Chain A
């Protein structure tokens, strides 16, 4: 249905290693958003992707939207301990005109110094 699947659920990396999380939908998406939640914190908006094949970068973070607009990825280069947290993708749902978002279950990233 309208769910988005995220993999992996957990990822443990050594500081300096790269990290990638994937978000997949069975239906075409109008856009995809990414949020980050630090441990004990609240989700914070990172980015929105709208165009087919779009790639956006924020420092060490690279976000991609698939050509078919059914999948997206977030890649972090050379992870740091400040990257620790859970990363969620989110799609529009429950009546797209009302701003509701459906979140994936998230990928929890831990970084070993």
Chain B
């Protein structure tokens, strides 16, 4: 039981390159989230999904796209990376939609550097 798995753990990009971060969960949770964490800024919600095939914008969605084609996977895409997107990205899930507690389980994080 791995919980929430993020890949890759580290990545360095050049400005303008594209990439996709993958979040996979084996807890059968409906709700999934992508947060970014920057020094002194806490955790800010980028996009989220309340179920397979659904996505919605969070606090800082610009420059990112997401997809939830399968319940267990939530992908975060950067079409044209910018230095401002240098950050640590965390995926999280909860079972809130299925009557569970609104408690987030986080992945280990993906550290992205854009040069």
Contacts and interface: CB of A to CB of B under 8 A. Distances in A.
B109 A42 contact: yes
Interface size class of A (residues with CB under 8 A): 20 to 34
Interface in B14-46: 31, 33, 35, 40-45
Interface residues of B, number: 27
B102 A92 contact: yes
Contacts, number: 60
A104 interface: yes
A94 B43 contact: no
A100 B48 CA distance: 8
Interface stretch (A43-51, A66-74, A76-84): A43-51
A105 B42 contact: yes
Interface of A: 9, 31, 33, 35, 41-45, 48, 88, 90, 92, 94, 98-106
Given A33-B102, A94-B59, A103-B43, 9 more contacts: A31-B102, A45-B105, A88-B43, A92-B102, A98-B56, A98-B96, A102-B45, A103-B42, A103-B44
